[in-house]
Structure 1
Amino acid sequence: MTTYHGSVKVGGAPDVRELAELIITKVAVGPFDNDCYLLRCRTTGEQLLIDAANDARTLLAMVGDGLGQVLTTHRHQDHWQALDEVVAATGARTLAGRYDAEGVPVPTDRLLDDGDTVEVGNVRLTAIHLVGHTPGSIALVYDDPKGHPHLFTGDCLFPGGIGNTFGDPDAFRTLLAGVEQKVFGRLPDETWVYPGHGNDTTLGDERPHLAEWRERGW
C-alpha cells in the first residue's frame, strides 16, 4: 500500500488514504487549485463528497457508482461550481452551513449547525461552525476510533495560518478565536488537517504558531 501524502496537482492522480472504517480520496481541480475530498464508508460503500468545487467530469469519475451526499464547506464560488452538475448526475443530497446556504445557488437539503452529526454509512463525523472567512463555514471532523482525528477545514485553516478574512480585523479575531477554541482547544496534535486548497498539515505542526498568527493579524 502506498503512503498517503496529500499533495495533489490539478490534472494529476488523486491521493487515497485507507483508514480502518473510512477511505479518503483527495483530488485537486482548477482553476483555483481547490481540494475536493471523497469519503467512503468501508462497510456500506456510502459516500460523501466535500466541495464539488469544479470539473464535474473529474469528480464524477472519482465518485463512480453512487453518491449519497455533497457537503459545501462555505459559500465562495470556487467551492461549488460543479455542484449543480454533480447533484444532477447523482441525485446526492446537499449539505451546507445554515448561515452560508443562501449563498450557494443549488438548494441545500440539510442545514448544518455547530455540533451536528453527519453520517456516511457507519461512519460519523461532526460539524464545526466557524465564523470569519464567511458567516457559515463548516469544518468536519472524523474522530477515528482506531486512530487519530481527521479534520476537513475548507478555507478556515491552512498550513501557515487561518483563512483569508479580507483585511477585516474583527473577522480575523473571530475566526482565530473559533479555530483556537473549537479546533486546537478540542483536538490533539495528531489531528490531520485536510484544507480547501494546497497540501495537508497537522494541528501539531500549526499549534506553535498561533501567537505568531495573532500578532501578524492574518
Structure 2
Amino acid sequence: MLTEPFVTDYCRANIWLVRGSDIDMLVDTGMGICALAPEIATTPGKPLLVVATHVHLDHVGSLHEFAWRAGPRIEAPFFETMPDAATYAHMFRNFPGAVSELPYAGWSSADYAIEPAPLHRLLDEGDVIELGDRRFCVLHLPGHSPGSIGLFDEQDGTLFSGDAIHGGLLVDDMPDSDRAAYCATMRRLIALPVRVAHGGHTDSIDGARMREIGEDYLRRNEG
C-alpha cells in the first residue's frame, strides 16, 4: 500500500501494488500531486496494468502516467477528458489545508487539474484480470459512484474494494451517488466470502468487520 502523506485526510487515498508472476497490477493512483510512476518498483520487461476503481479525483490523479490503463466501462467516457463534473477536481481547488507540505515552491491547489487518461481495457461485471499466479474477478459495486468496481481474488478471499466499502466514512451524498444502489452493493458484499478488504481509504479490514460495516449501512438506510 502506498499513499500521499501530505494530502489532506479527506482526499488521501490508498494505492495498492499487487505483484503477479506474469503481470503486476496497480489499483488506483491517488491525487497526482507528485509523480507516482517513479515511486512504483516495477520489474523491467514485466507488464504493469493500472486499474482505476472509479473516476473520482483521489483515485485517478496519476493515471495518465501509465501506459496500460483499465477501469469501469460505465465511466469510461469520463476518462477521455477527466471533466470536473465527473472527477470533482474542483473540490480540491482552494481546499483549506489541501496539503501539509508543498510539492514544490509556488504550488497551489487552485491550479489542480487531472490529465486525460483514456482507458485501454474496459472492465465489466464478471471480467477476470489474470496476473499469472493470481486472478481477480471484477465486481460492479455501484452506489458511491455509478461505475465503482471491486477486484476479488476468489481463491484467497482478498477484495480490493475502492470506495465501495472501507473502514472510514462512506460517502453516499455526491451528485453521482445512489443510496438504493449502495444498499444493493452492501447486500452483495455481506454475502461474499471476503477474508480481507483493502479499501480506497483507511486501514484494511477483515471480512467480519466488512460485514459489520455493510450491515450497519443497511440498518441506517433501509429503515
TM class, shorter-chain normalised?
0.7 to 0.9
Higher relative contact order (CA 8 A, sep 6+): 2
- Cα-to-partner distance string for 1:32-62 (whole Å, 9 max, x where unaligned): 2210001111x33x21111112355444322
Which of 26, 30, 34 is the matching residue for 2:13? Answer: 34
What is residue 157 of structure 1 aligned with on the other side? 165
Once residues 61 and 173 of structure 2 are traced to their aligned partners in structure 1, the CA distance between those partners, rounded to angstroms, is 22
Distance 1:109 1:210, change over 3 A: closer
Secondary structure at 1:207's aligned position in 2? Answer: helix
Q: Which moved more, 1:97-106 or 1:149-158?
A: 97-106
Asked if the contact 2:12/2:58 (under 8 Å) is kept, the reply is no
Distance 1:120 1:187, change over 3 A: same
Once residues 40 and 97 of structure 1 are traced to their aligned partners in structure 2, the CA distance between those partners, rounded to angstroms, is 21
What is residue 27 of structure 2 aligned with on the other side? 50
What is residue 180 of structure 1 aligned with on the other side? 187
Distance 1:208 1:79, change over 3 A: closer
Once residues 186 and 122 of structure 2 are traced to their aligned partners in structure 1, the CA distance between those partners, rounded to angstroms, is 21
What is residue 75 of structure 1 aligned with on the other side? 55
> Counterpart amino acid of 1:62?
I
Alignment of 1:95-174 (within 5 A): 95-104=70-79, 105-144=116-155, 148-159=156-167, 163-166=170-173, 171-174=178-181
Distance 1:35 1:211, change over 3 A: closer
Once residues 127 and 152 of structure 1 are traced to their aligned partners in structure 2, the CA distance between those partners, rounded to angstroms, is 10
What is residue 39 of structure 2 aligned with on the other side? 61
TM-score by length of 1: 0.73
Where in structure 2 are there 5+ consecutive unaligned residues? 80-115
Once residues 39 and 174 of structure 2 are traced to their aligned partners in structure 1, the CA distance between those partners, rounded to angstroms, is 38
TM-score by length of 2: 0.71
> Counterpart amino acid of 1:187?
P
Give RMSD over aligned pairs: 2.3
What is residue 209 of structure 2 aligned with on the other side? 205
Secondary structure at 2:40's aligned position in 1? Answer: helix
Once residues 195 and 208 of structure 1 are traced to their aligned partners in structure 2, the CA distance between those partners, rounded to angstroms, is 15
- Alignment: residue pair count: 178
Where in structure 1 are there 5+ consecutive unaligned residues? 1-25
**CA shift at 1:132, angstroms?**
1.3
Secondary structure at 1:99's aligned position in 2? Answer: helix
Asked if the contact 2:158/2:197 (under 8 Å) is kept, the reply is yes
**CA shift at 1:167, angstroms?**
6.7
**CA shift at 1:158, angstroms?**
1.1
Asked if the contact 2:186/2:214 (under 8 Å) is kept, the reply is no
- Cα-to-partner distance string for 1:66-88 (whole Å, 9 max, x where unaligned): 44210000010111111112x1x
How many percent identity over aligned positions?
Answer: 25
Once residues 39 and 121 of structure 1 are traced to their aligned partners in structure 2, the CA distance between those partners, rounded to angstroms, is 12
**CA shift at 1:202, angstroms?**
1.5
